[in-house]
Amino acid sequence: MTTTENRPKKTQARRIADPTTLITYLNSLDLGVTPTVKVNGHNYSMALVTVDFGTPLKPVKFSAEESQEFTDRLRKLAKDVIGRDNVNIRISNDSQNGVFWASV
């Protein structure tokens, strides 16, 4: 037996999930509220990342392009939390309370 067989296999390090790009984007939209972004972590697969606007969001606050960009950025942040790109991320929301979350 060689010494390389006894060594444990290297595992890939988790990427650091940085919510600043999502926060900066949301602040640039001028929605009239300051959303709270919480990264729950990879152990919380039902809500990896949550965004709380604190108030119900009316459909007129987000244009179609802004909504698509928001979900793309939220999905990317969730993939960074998981540490994999080949995972399906679902974006859900509670429009009455203004809360969005990303789950696996």
| Distance, C-alpha 59 to centroid of its chain | 21
pLDDT in tens, the chain (104 residues): 556 666 666 555 555 678 899 999 998 988 888 889 999 887 888 889 999 988 887 765 788 899 899 999 999 999 998 888 899 999 999 988 889 999 98
Q: Is the pTM of this model over 0.85?
A: no
Handedness of CA 50, 51, 57, 60 (dihedral sign): negative
Note whether 102 and 78 are within 8 A (CB).
yes
